Structure 1
Amino acid sequence: MVAERESTRERLPVGATAAGRPRSGRLDQPRPPRRRLLPEWDPDAFGRLSERIARFLGTGRFIVWMTVMIVVWVLWNVAAPRHLRFDEYPFIFLTLALSLQASYAAPLILLAQNRQDDRDRVNLEQDRKQDERSIADTEYLTREIAALRMGLGEVATRDWMRSELQDLVKDLEERTVDGHRRHGVFPADHPRAGDMDDR
């Protein structure tokens, strides 16, 4: 038995498991990084750079600098000595440079707008969730206030207690007066009332 196991180990290649699979295919180990032909970049950093460029392209400073550069370019290629001119009258090189700048500016502006749209979408989603929470809280508070009002309808208030006490005092006064009338005793007819007045 031991000899058979050792012969099986000798037949398997180094790095292979008992099932015959190489160790690199195991799920409990990370894959080695693969080499890519294209260069890698951080999309978020590229997006931030494009937003910065698009923000600069939309300023008056960029328009002023671009106008100054074009004026200097045209004046140099018109007024400078012939051997120092690098772009003659049709200004083909200037046209090519401006076309190249426009061809890069348009996608950068679109990329910045897409990122802004994504941010707006996230903000709208957060606002919608916040509104839903606010509506739920308002409905809960409305139900609680309605329950408190219903509960307060059964509680004795100060005005109700005052009116009840006034009614009791009136009843007591009426009973006292009725009792005196029945027995024929009034405060003026009471025998001691005159003695008390004489005193």
Structure 2
Amino acid sequence: MSDQNCCLICGKPKRHLVPGNLVRTALAKLIQANRPEWNDKSFICLDDLNQFRSKYVAQILEVEKGELTSLENDVLKSLADQDLISENTNAEIEASRTFGERLADRIASFGGSWSFLITFGFVMFLWIAFNSLSAFGKPVDPFPFILLNLILSCLASVQAPVIMMSQNRQEAKDRVRAEHDYRVNLKAELEIRQLHSKLDMLLTHQWQRLLEIQQIQTELIQQLAAREDPADRKPDAS
């Protein structure tokens, strides 16, 4: 089999080959840097072309952002493997929570609700009323309600760390969501760049086909114009 039907990179015959003149200039320079024998008349298979596209995108990111992070490397890997990168982060976070973290979240959620305020106010009202009215006998915690102050101080000292633990959990959730959103947005941007590249290649290919058709039509018109029909040719009168 001739070299025209083989990929220049892997050397294997491929069903879908892309001619060198349809590869973007930036990609062609990258391919030529790895394979100096590359030219416009060479062919490359789609698998190798996608690998060079991933390398080209990695170079762009390194130029724009410096050294690539692990998140960006994961995005490039998913882009090369054509994998989905979006996932349900809430389900992953919920599955990794411990019993203490669930309890802290529930306590913090209840402590910041109207139910807690109404219940707390009702209990305080009953406590003050029970220890203020003589009809109930000797009060357990007479004025100035020292026992009530002790209970409130203990409640505040316990509730504050629980709320802080829940806030730390929420910050961890926000970081996971932010990293996930960054990966999704980065991959979407790279996919759009690749889509533009493919559209440019398709337009170039279609334009070349139209030029070939136009050349064929021009040749046919010239042949028809140059052909003289003997039946239409009349002899000169003597």
In the superposition, the TM-score normalised over structure 2's length comes to 0.50
Taking a change above 3 Å as real, the CA distance of residues 103 and 168 of structure 1, as seen in their structure-2 partners, is: same
Taking a change above 3 Å as real, the CA distance of residues 62 and 82 of structure 1, as seen in their structure-2 partners, is: closer
Whole-Å Cα distance in 2 between the matches of residues 167 and 155 of structure 1? 18
- Residue 129 in 1 paired to residue 159 in 2? no
Q: CA deviation at 1:171?
A: 3.5
CA RMSD of aligned residues (A): 3.2
Whole-Å Cα distance in 2 between the matches of residues 82 and 148 of structure 1? 91
Aligned pair count reads: 140
Whole-Å Cα distance in 2 between the matches of residues 76 and 170 of structure 1? 115
Residues 54-79 of structure 1, C-alpha deviations (whole Å, 9 max, x = no match): 00011111111101000111111111
Whole-Å Cα distance in 2 between the matches of residues 83 and 168 of structure 1? 122
State which of 143, 146, 152 in structure 1 corresponds to 2:206. Answer: 152
Whole-Å Cα distance in 2 between the matches of residues 166 and 80 of structure 1? 118
Q: How does 1:32-111 map to 2 (within 5 A)?
A: 44-81=98-135, 83-111=137-165
Higher RCO by CA contacts (8 Å cutoff, separation 6 or greater):
2
The alignment-based identity, stated in percent, is 25
* 4+ aligned runs moved over 6 Å, structure 1: none
Q: How does 1:137-176 map to 2 (within 5 A)?
A: 137-156=191-210, 164=218, 171=225
Taking a change above 3 Å as real, the CA distance of residues 180 and 57 of structure 1, as seen in their structure-2 partners, is: same
State which of 157, 163, 172 in structure 2 corresponds to 1:118. Answer: 172
Gaps of 5+ in 1: 1-42, 186-199
In the superposition, the TM-score normalised over structure 1's length comes to 0.59
Q: 1:130 is aligned with what amino acid?
A: V
Equivalent residues of 2:108, 2:162 under 8 A apart = yes
Gaps of 5+ in 2: 1-96
Q: CA deviation at 1:147?
A: 0.8
Q: CA deviation at 1:113?
A: 0.6
